[in-house]
Structure 1
Amino acid sequence: MPDAPRRFPDRVRELLDDLDAVSGEAIGDAAALLLDSIGAGGIVHVAGAGHSLALVCETFYRAGGLAAVRPVWDPGVLPLDDAVRSTRVERRPGVGRAVVARAAPAPPDAAVVFSTSGRNPYPVEIAEECASRGVRVIAVTSARASRKAAARADTTLADHAEIVLDTRVPPGDVLHPAEAPRTAAVSTVLAAYAWSRVLAALDDLAAERGVELPRWTSANVPGGDEVNAALLERYRRRVPELGAGDGEPDGRRGG
């Protein structure tokens, strides 16, 4: 009897293990880079397009997440109100550079760019422009997906990053059924796991060095609003996406 196809959950766990094996060292390096940046008073600029914007949301104004984070994005790459347009904009040269010019990152800031393929002009330009400004770049991408993707820029996202976290996402993203994958994309699962591992490593390293990280607290636990109000006051001038309200959290974050 032939071996039964591996179940979908098993294949996801295998990819998570693969990510751990391939990117474990890079995760520690990324944590150290971020701690150096934040410890020196920097902001972490985070970018992505299309469904990679889910990872930008995961990094920003998130319970347990870093407060020193600014989302760097162009409304045109959001697929929710015009999906076809978002694909065109991600492929349009110049948009990524303009986004960075508006954000104007500078050392000791850092940048994290999420893109599974890392081959479209938008994420490539963001990483390249940040690096040209002396901003250290972390790429969260998939080497094998990148190798199989259509090349729409002369370079790749990974080419402009100091640290590359390889998410191990397969070409085409989908994972099911095993013999001819056509559904169940895994890029968000793997990239979110990689980012959570970075946060855990960052926490350990900060504790080791005696550094207090600026972290959001769930607005749904006692004392959370007070902690977050102080962080809003600290960062809202440097992170305009936090809003310019009255300083009181509205309880949306933290789930």
Structure 2
Amino acid sequence: MTDFTTALHDFAAEVRTRLAALEDLAAGGGFDAAIDLLTDAITSGGVLYAFGTGHSEAFAMEIAGRAGGLIPTKKIALRDLALQGDLPIAELKGANLERNPDVADRLFEIAEVGPHDVVLIASNSGVNGSIVGFALAAKRAGNPVIAVTSYDHTMQVQPKHPSGSRLKDIADVAIDNLAPYGDASITIGADVPVGAVSSITAAFIAQVLTLGVAERFVAKGETAPLYLSANIPGGDEHNVALEQQYGISRTA
């Protein structure tokens, strides 16, 4: 039990240190460029498209369609290639699809990203083919890209896209999620790596971006378009009305 308690405290310290650093960065204006892009997009009638593969899909879920989150948002997932495209469902298994750069253009087409929309992409490694390819597709279409990635990790691995690019180099704004190389933040016993932090820091970043956009609306004397929990009285009615106003349809 003592060893577990030590590991627990060590992991909690690693998380707290990173969240405190992100808090300081945001308080010092380090997120302002991303917040401005998001606010301008919504003000112009645009939508915030969030994409992540593997565990980074959790970031997209924090951005799009959750209580306390912004309503003009949509989540993109690789399974859309099967659910809305013609990709065989069997090909969704394993990690091959997220590493495949050839699926990115089709996924971007299915997403129907509009001219006033912003694309947010989370990837801890920042090098997988589908992620980099989607970012490049967004840039070709003229859409701003915001990236959330681990600078420590991405600079220590080779890009898997034929362009040789990393996500952070394509993005208009890149935010370091402060995860270490390999994601695990501590070791137990014989140097067994454990305690991944990227999902925690990415979720915090997503919420900070949401807070920032909401503050921008309030500063202008406007009401931010935010979801209420569907599990409180009037939540569904509030959400559906604003979804209709912004042309958002929640199908997944």
**TM-score normalized with structure 1 length:** 0.83
Shift of 1:142: 1.1
Instruction: Judge conservation of contact 1:45–1:72 (CA < 8 Å) in 2.
Output: yes
Q: 1:10 corresponds to which residue?
A: 13
Instruction: Judge conservation of contact 1:39–1:211 (CA < 8 Å) in 2.
Output: no
Instruction: Judge conservation of contact 1:76–1:89 (CA < 8 Å) in 2.
Output: no
Alignment-mate amino acid for residue 61 of structure 1? G
Equivalent in 32, 52, 61 of residue 48 of structure 1 = 52
Shift of 1:104: 2.7
**TM-score normalized with structure 2 length:** 0.84
Instruction: Judge conservation of contact 1:91–1:122 (CA < 8 Å) in 2.
Output: yes
SS across alignment from 1:175: strand
Matched, 1:147 2:155: yes
Shift of 1:70: 1.2
Q: 2:242 corresponds to which residue?
A: 231
CA offsets per residue over residues 4-52 of structure 1, 9 Å max, x none?
9972211211122233445653312211111100000001111010111
Matched, 1:100 2:108: yes
Q: Identity, % of aligned pairs?
A: 30
CA distance in 2, matches of 1:177, 1:74: 32
CA distance in 2, matches of 1:128, 1:25: 27
SS across alignment from 1:184: strand
Equivalent residue runs for 1:17-96 within 5 Å: 17-22=20-25, 25-75=29-79, 85-96=93-104
CA distance in 2, matches of 1:61, 1:84: 23
Shift of 1:141: 0.8
CA distance in 2, matches of 1:152, 1:54: 22
Alignment-mate amino acid for residue 153 of structure 2? A
Unaligned runs of 5+ in 1: 245-255
Query: How much is the aligned-residue C-alpha RMSD, in angstroms?
Result: 2.6
**What is the count of residue pairs matched by the alignment?**
236
Q: 2:193 corresponds to which residue?
A: 182
Shift of 1:210: 2.5
Matched, 1:123 2:123: no
Q: Which moved more, 1:143-152 or 1:166-175?
A: 143-152
Shift of 1:73: 2.0
Q: 1:253 corresponds to which residue?
A: none
CA distance in 2, matches of 1:190, 1:243: 27
CA distance in 1, matches of 2:94, 2:222: 40
Q: 1:172 corresponds to which residue?
A: 182
Q: Which moved more, 1:134-143 or 1:15-24?
A: 15-24
CA distance in 1, matches of 2:13, 2:53: 29
Alignment-mate amino acid for residue 92 of structure 1? N
CA distance in 1, matches of 2:91, 2:25: 33
CA distance in 1, matches of 2:81, 2:197: 20
Shift of 1:167: 0.7
CA distance in 2, matches of 1:142, 1:82: 30
CA offsets per residue over residues 111-131 of structure 1, 9 Å max, x none?
100101100111111111111
| Cα gap change, 1:129 to 1:139, in 2 (>3 Å) | same
SS across alignment from 1:62: coil
Shift of 1:94: 1.3
Unaligned runs of 5+ in 2: 1-5, 83-88
CA distance in 2, matches of 1:135, 1:151: 22
Structure 1 consecutive aligned stretches of length 4 or more whose deviation exceeds 4 Å: 21-24, 81-84
CA distance in 1, matches of 2:143, 2:117: 6
